[in-house]
Structure 1
Amino acid sequence: MQQVKKGDTVKVHYHGKLTDGTTFDSSEGREPLEFEVGGGMVIEGFDNGVTGMTIGEKKTVVIPFLEAYGPLQEEMIMEFPRDRFPADLVPQVGLQLSMSDNAGNQYPVVITEVKDEVVILDANHPLAGKDLVFDLELVEIAGSKPLIIMP
């Protein structure tokens, strides 16, 4: 049977969980995820997890945070003056916002704490610093053809 290798385009059903079992994403009820293995379209640990799988195979992989979204970076957590928020916006923990830097680049932030004078914003990826668990099922190796041996 053909095994997944770097450069293959694959279709995978997945169920992503944190190590405590909390689901953060799943392809259930949707089309399988299609991507090129090693093409930088998914996190490194996901690429590594599907490499070597065969069509129809199911497995569970644990991906350490360094092969996922990296470590939590303290410099991505910042204090923002509360009086600089729009008057009609009430800062609340968990609220997701979009900010822009001096160059006009937009990036998402989440409010993690609200104090009297400042609001603490976290620009880290929500899964940074977390080990991830994926249940994988390889559905297809796109363009895969049966091996034909000519006499």
Structure 2
Amino acid sequence: MSDSTVVITDNSEVVLHFDLKLSDGSAADSTRVNNKPAKLVIGDGNLTPGFESCLLGLVVGDKKSFTLEPKDAFGSPNPDNIYHLDRSKFDGDTPAEEGMIMTFSQPDGSELPGIVRSVAGASVTVDFNHPLAGQTITFDVEIISVV
């Protein structure tokens, strides 16, 4: 049972709508686009600690806006996450084009998205940092239910 007196704490199951906006006001992500609220458990790793800390203490019906610096949102870009790959690793089905987001298979079988930052000669620069790394984010939330 959820009611408006249940306060969000560690391990709370929360259903919420959220909007992520960049410092220029442009939308980065929103659950409202498809009217599908997000469901998460505080502490399950779906949100970074910076995002989760914004939710602690809120109750059903709360609408809040938080501004998160990069360190509390998606982190700062890490130069070690930028790789220079040989253009021969790309083929006609998946040509390397600047701005493309591609998925790369890891040795353990998992997949990791990367953004092609530049194509120069035989070298393709791929950035594996989160696309929003280094960005100040406005996190608007509306709490729908808390269990």
TM-score normalised by structure 1 residue count: 0.84
| 1:129 aligned residue | 134
Counterpart residue type for residue 95 of structure 2: V
Cα deviations across residues 103-135 of structure 1 (Å, max 9, x unaligned)? 544311111111122111111111112221111
Distance 1:47 1:113 in 2: 35
Whole-Å Cα distance in 1 between the matches of residues 23 and 99 of structure 2?
Answer: 21
Partner of 1:79: 84
Given the alignment of the two structures, is residue 16 of structure 1 paired with residue 26 of structure 2, yes or no? no
Counterpart in 2 of 1:100?
A: 105
Following the alignment from structure 1 to structure 2, what is the Cα–Cα distance between the partners of residues 88 and 7? 44
Whether 2:46 is the aligned partner of 1:41: answer yes
Which residue is 2:10 aligned to? 6
CA deviation string 1:26-85 (max 9, x = no partner): 111323211111222212122111111121111101122222222211011111122332
Taking a change above 3 Å as real, the CA distance of residues 100 and 53 of structure 1, as seen in their structure-2 partners, is: same
| Structure 1 unaligned regions, length at least 5 | 143-151
Unaligned runs of 5+ in 2: none
In structure 2, which of residues 110, 118, 121 is the aligned counterpart of residue 116 of structure 1? Answer: 121
Larger radius of gyration: 1
- Matched residue pairs, number? 142
How far residue 102 of structure 1 moved from its aligned partner, in angstroms, is 4.2
Q: Does 1:58 align with 2:63?
A: yes
- CA RMSD in angstroms comes to 1.7
Given the alignment, which residue of 130, 135, 138 partners 2:143?
A: 138
User: What is the match of residue 95 of structure 2?
Assistant: 90
Task: Provide the identity percentage.
Answer: 27
